[in-house]
């Protein structure tokens, strides 16, 4: 397993990270434990969660992902051997069940969110603590056509960084990151850190896959030059790039069957692009999901590829991509398809 350094910290993480948002919803506690055991046996030491998970967010399952990780670490006695990342939820939609709906990144709420995550994780420190999405209005989750909100009501970014810095100083978190952040937002945080001596952002967790490559436009250069690598989520585009939804199929128990409201990767252009990439993989004798994951793994700006699975068979197939290197012919063909389908899943 390739090991990367997280930002400018001394934290070393496996290039494959296991995402746990299905734990407590699509996966039971026992299934989550089995997945994490398998991942560790394969060399994975990095696990990602969030206070909002299980996915999709709802009151009765909120925090379950962290709880499953916590019971696993307690049962295995392996806290020192793994790197745990989690996130604080920001304002978005109806999430009054999380911290009474007071979802801002000020000193009080950051401290409260950290304490609750520590309790669920049954640990006294979090390795990587991330803002799940910006508190301010911005383009994320695939949104286009940026609409500027002048002087919006959000916690100043220096105050956010100071609040997170207090938790670092207290030893409750080791490093901080952002998720679903923009190029401006990431550079603003780094500028504040440089100017004030507050902790730098060590990583950025954004979507990246064959159907969603906006990260390359501006954030990729920042990731490399600022030593703030990508933690790529949704590398299989909500499962579409496995090919299991081809020809309109919706397998029983699949994520799209269970949660049809999430349509980003199922719009007409997304379906056409998916068909093209799946066809390319099969033409070259590759499993479509493995080609898609190997493509993400090959990016210089990547720190970790966050895989997720609901079965151990799926997980093993994903883990096996760690050793894959796509041929020059496949990479050229991917490039040609990207020109044809440059933004198929907004």
Kindly state the helix (H) or strand (E) to which residue 4 belongs, with its residue range.
strand 3-5
Distance CA 205, CA 321 (A): 20
Domain boundaries defined on the chain: 3-242+296-327
Instruction: Please state which architecture CATH assigns to domain 3-242+296-327.
Output: Alpha-Beta Barrel (3.20)
Token pair 């299905």 is at which residue?
22
Query: Apex CA 236: angle with CA 14 and CA 334, to 5°?
Result: 100
DSSP type of residue 72: H
Please report the DSSP string for 274-322 in residue order. HHHHHHHHHHTT--HHHHHHHHHHT-TTEEEEEE--SSHHHHHHHHGGG
Calpha distance 28→43 (Å, rounded): 23
The per-residue pLDDT for 261 is 80
Torsion of CA 122, 128, 134, 138, to 10 degrees: -140
Residue 50 CB neighbours (<10 A): 25
Please tell me the pTM assigned to this model: 0.96
As a whole number of angstroms, the distance between CA 242 and CA 211 comes to 12
∠ CA(125), CA(130), CA(133), 5° rounding?
A: 155
Number of helices (H) and strands (E), helices first, in the chain? 11, 10
**Both tokens assigned to 337:** 């398809």
CA distances to 225, 292, 302 from 221, in Å: 6, 22, 11
Residues forming the active site: 53
Say what the pLDDT of residue 278 is.
Answer: 97
Tell the residue number behind the tokens 């896959």, with chain if given.
209
- Residue 152 confidence (pLDDT): 79
- Residue 300: how many other CB atoms lie within 10 Å: 9
Residue by residue, pLDDT tens for the chain (346 residues) are 999 999 999 999 999 999 999 999 999 999 999 999 999 999 999 999 999 999 988 999 999 999 999 999 999 999 999 999 999 999 977 788 999 999 999 999 999 999 999 999 999 999 999 999 999 998 888 888 888 888 778 999 999 999 999 999 999 999 999 999 999 999 999 999 999 999 999 999 999 999 999 999 999 999 999 999 999 999 999 999 999 988 888 878 777 787 888 888 999 999 999 999 999 999 999 999 999 999 999 999 999 999 999 999 999 999 999 999 999 999 999 999 999 999 998 8
Gap between the Cα atoms of 162 and 140, Å rounded: 24
DSSP class of 60: G
Distances (CA, A) of 80 to 42, 47, 71, 84, 128: 17, 13, 15, 10, 14
Query: 86 with 123: CB under 8 angstroms?
Result: no
Distance CA 212, CA 344 (A): 7
Does a cis peptide bond (omega within 30 degrees of 0) precede residue 56?
A: yes
What whole-number distance in Å separates Cα of residue 47 and Cα of residue 31?
A: 15
């Amino acid at each position: 397993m390739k090991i990367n350094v997280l930002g400018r910290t001394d934290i070393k993480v496996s290039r494959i990270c296991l995402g746990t948002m299905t734990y407590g919803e699509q996966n039971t506690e026992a299934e989550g434990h089995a997945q994490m055991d398998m991942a560790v046996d394969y060399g994975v030491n990095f696990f990602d969660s969030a206070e909002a998970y299980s996915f999709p967010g709802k009151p009765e399952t909120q925090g379950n992902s962290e709880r499953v990780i916590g019971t696993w670490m307690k049962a295995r006695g392996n806290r020192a051997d793994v790197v745990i990342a989690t996130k604080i939820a920001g304002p978005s939609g109806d999430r009054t069940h999380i911290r009474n709906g007071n979802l801002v990144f000020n000193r009080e709420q950051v401290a409260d969110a950290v304490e609750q995550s520590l309790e669920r994780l049954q640990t006294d420190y979090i390795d990587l603590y991330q803002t799940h999405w910006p508190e301010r209005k911005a383009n994320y989750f695939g949104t286009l056509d940026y609409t500027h909100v002048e002087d919006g009501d959000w916690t100043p970014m220096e105050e956010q960084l100071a609040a997170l810095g207090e938790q670092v100083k207290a030893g409750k978190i080791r490093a901080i990151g952002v998720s679903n952040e923009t190029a401006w937002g990431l550079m603003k945080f780094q500028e504040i850190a440089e100017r004030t001596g507050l902790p730098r952002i060590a990583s950025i967790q954004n979507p990246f896959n064959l159907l969603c490559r906006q990260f390359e436009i501006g954030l990729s250069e920042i990731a490399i030059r600022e030593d703030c690598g990508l933690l790529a989520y949704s590398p299989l585009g909500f499962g579409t790039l496995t090919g299991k939804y081809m020809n309109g199929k919706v397998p029983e128990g699949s994520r799209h069957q269970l949660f049809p409201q999430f349509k980003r990767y199922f719009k007409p252009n997304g379906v056409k692009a998916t068909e093209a990439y799946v066809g390319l993989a099969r033409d070259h004798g590759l499993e479509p999901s493995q080609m898609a994951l190997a493509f993400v793994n090959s990016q210089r700006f990547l720190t970790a590829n966050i895989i997720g699975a609901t079965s151990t068979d799926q997980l093993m197939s994903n883990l096996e991509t760690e050793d894959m290197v796509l041929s020059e012919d496949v990479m050229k063909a991917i490039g040609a398809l990207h020109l044809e389908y440059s933004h198929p899943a907004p």
